[in-house]
Amino acid sequence: MRWLPFAYLVAVLALEPLAPVDWPVSFLLIALPLVAAYAYGPLGVAVLTALAIVFEGVLAGTPCCAGRPVAYLWDRHYVANYLCTGLVGVLGGLLAVHRLRRERTLATVRSVAETAQRVLLRPVPRRLRQVSVETLYVSAAAEARIGGDLYEVMSTEYGVRLLVGDVRGKGLVAVETAAAMLGSFREAAYEEPDLIALARRMERSMSRHAAQLPSDEAAERFVTAVFAEIPDQEPVVRLVNCGHPPPLLIRKGGATEPLHGDPAPPINLGSLTGDGYELQVEPFHPGDQLLLYTDGVTETRDADGCFYPLAERVAPWAGLPPRQLLDRLHEDLVAYSAGRLDDDIAALVAHRLPGPGHV
């Protein structure tokens, strides 16, 4: 963009000698201040406006370039052209001021959003006991860089507990609900003895949060979530799914297996259907990986409208460490959608490491 005004100026100067005498292409220099407003501040626009007026005068009075007598320099048409260029320069300067203000506002908004994201989705430790963890977060709103997807990892006396969730809706409403969900999980994960009790506690907490809202909003504040627990002494992973896409178990041999189970209702909708939580227990040996993700992954579409086949695409990457696996997943999602990721994406990989009793 910095070179755009100069490229425009060079193009006009190159066309002027080629145009007929009655077609003064130099009039096109009137637009130079507006072109400059896209790339420069008010001072830069003023300088380029003066440069445009100078070149208009030079071209008007240069017979060798346009075949016109020098007297054309002060022809009333050219004087009007100089005045118009000056007025457009004033407009360009105002536009440049407005653009700079908007850029500063956008930078402030991004800074606030990044701070809020660090508070809500704080960096998780890369290793907790015998589990290594890596995360991925991509917001569909590039200007804000934050959405309603969430994750958290806690090391408790019951093992490493993980949460991945997706808040219904977008914007500040989703961020507020995500903050309430994460705050409740960070407290309850240490206290509840099993995942079903943890899910019930989260249901009560989010119901209290929703009860403080207007009635027309309360029913809309629900969260799909998966709670996982990896105990220290048992080679298993325990899961409770609350209306969320099923986790993907990645075996060290290369096989992938979606853990469907029997999902319960999303958090804050449990009171509508009763207590239907089911604890799912799956083998989880050293070398195995658990991929938790939000529906922004599986609902990514290609040009033909086909959904992203997660298990099929991840299978060849089963031998990759968690960080490389998530990086490959991100790159593949962008390529699959041709760069059009329309929903927030959160993903978390937990990799079981060999413990004291494993070789």
Residue 66 pLDDT level (bands cut at 50, 70, 90) = very low
Query: Domain boundary residue among 112, 132, 166?
Result: 112
In a domain, 118, yes or no: no
Quick check: is 66 in a domain?
Answer: yes
pLDDT on residue 329: 93
Both 273 and 171 in a single domain? yes
Asked whether residue 119 is domain-assigned, the answer is no
CA 311, CA 244: separation in Å to the nearest integer?
Answer: 16
Residue 351 has pLDDT above 50, yes or no: yes
Q: Are 57 and 73 in contact (CB under 8 A)?
A: yes
**pLDDT, tens digit, for every residue of 86-130?**
888 888 888 888 888 888 887 777 766 666 666 666 778 888 888
Q: Which residue has the higher pLDDT, 305 or 28?
A: 305
β-partners of residue 128 are 131
Shared domain for 107 and 128, answered yes or no, is no
Q: How many helices (H) and strands (E) does the chain have?
A: 12, 11
* CA–CA distance, 147 with 139 (Å, rounded to integer): 6
Alpha carbons 121 and 103: distance in angstroms, whole number: 26
User: What is the distance, to the nearest Å, from the Cα of residue 157 to the centroid of all Cα atoms in its chain?
Assistant: 34
**pTM summary value:** 0.68
pLDDT at position 81 is 73
What does the pLDDT read at residue 323? 93
Domain assignment of residue 345, yes or no: yes
- The answer on 277 and 152 residing in a single domain is yes
Query: What is residue 220's predicted lDDT score, i.e. its pLDDT?
Result: 62
* Rounded-to-5 percentages of helix, strand, coil across the chain: 50, 20, 30
The tokens for 123 are 């960096």
Q: Over 70: is that where the pLDDT of 62 sits?
A: no
Q: Give dist(CA 87, CA 98) in Å, integer.
A: 17
Any idea how long the chain is? 359
pLDDT surpasses 80 at 277: yes
**Are 102 and 132 part of one and the same domain?**
no
Secondary structure of residue 9 in the 3-state scheme: helix
**Per the domain annotation, does 358 fall within a domain?**
no
Q: Is the pLDDT of residue 9 over 80?
A: no
Let me know whether 101 and 141 are in one domain. no
d(CA 286, CA 299): 30
Distance CA 127, CA 354 (A): 12
When divided into structural domains, the chain yields a total of: 2
Q: Write out the E strands in 139-184.
A: 149-156, 159-167
Please tell me which residue, 244 or 1, carries the higher pLDDT value. Answer: 244
Assigned domain for 357 exists: no
Please work out, in degrees rounded to the nearest 5, the angle formed at the alpha carbon of residue 244 by the alpha carbons of 263 and 308.
125
Largest CA distance in the chain: 97
Task: With beta carbons less than 8 A apart as the criterion, state whether 245 and 294 touch.
Answer: yes
Do 95 and 17 share a structural domain? yes
Average of per-residue pLDDT across 332-340:
86
Same domain, 42 and 169: no
Residue 117 domain flag: no
100 and 237 in a single domain? The answer is no
Q: Which residue has the higher pLDDT, 216 or 2?
A: 2
Which of 112, 134, 155 represents a domain boundary (last residue)? Answer: 112
Range among 158-172, 185-199, 213-227, 242-256 rated most confident: 185-199
Q: State the Cα–Cα distance between residues 96 and 36, nearest whole angstrom.
A: 8
In terms of domains, do 23 and 168 share one? no
**The pLDDT value given to residue 31:** 81
Residues 134 and 79 in one domain: no
Instruction: Look at residues 112, 141, 170 and tell me which one is the last residue of a structural domain.
Output: 112
pLDDT at 113: 64
Residues 93 and 218 grouped into a single domain: no
Q: How many CB atoms lie within 10 A of CB 233?
A: 9
Quick one: pLDDT band at residue 142, thresholds 50, 70, 90?
low
Query: CATH number of the domain that 271 lies in?
Result: 3.60.40.10
Q: What is the pLDDT of residues 217-241, one digit of tens each?
A: 555 678 889 999 999 888 999 999 9
For residue 251, the enclosing domain spans 124-352
Residue 359 within a domain? no
Same domain, 273 and 152: yes
